[in-house]
Amino acid sequence: MERKIINPDKWQDPLGFVQGHEVSGAQRMLFCAGQVPVDAEGKTMHVGDFRGQLNRTIDNIERVLAGAGFTFADLVRLNIYTTDLEGFFANRDVILERITAAGSRHTSTLLGVARLARPDLLLEIEATAVK
């Protein structure tokens, strides 16, 4: 498999994402459903705590990736949905410290939304990985 990063500009590099991935000869792809900050029984964790919810959501992404033999370095896309854009920007360093530092050069979309599936959820993240 060959991955080529398409990044005509460099403004996004310090933010931890790229503009595109060209993938050829991919052996495996993993499309993760939107992950939220829930425990193994589906109970919302860290209600009202954006940083806690973001960390738990990333933990859940990591568990799905590992279950298929992938790591953060294999991520090519993150779609982030949040009801609190300011909370996201104040805590986005969590993504840089955990996902980007692990070798991910993913594309990303950030969307502010009025509500998620449950009123106590502050964010949901979809992930795509390629190996």
Judge whether 6 and 20 are in contact, CB under 8 Å.
Answer: yes
Q: Check: CB of residue 38 under 8 Å from CB of residue 58.
A: no
Architecture of domain 28-130: 2-Layer Sandwich (3.30)
Ordered per-residue pLDDT tens for the chain, 131 residues: 777 777 777 777 887 776 776 777 767 888 888 999 999 888 999 999 999 999 999 999 999 999 989 999 999 999 999 999 999 999 999 999 999 999 998 999 999 999 999 999 999 999 999 98
- CA nearest 61: which of 87, 88, 33? 33
Secondary structure letter of residue 12 according to DSSP: T
User: Mapping DSSP to helix (H, G, I), strand (E, B) and coil, where does residue 56 land?
Assistant: helix
pLDDT at 21: 64
What pLDDT does residue 26 have? 60
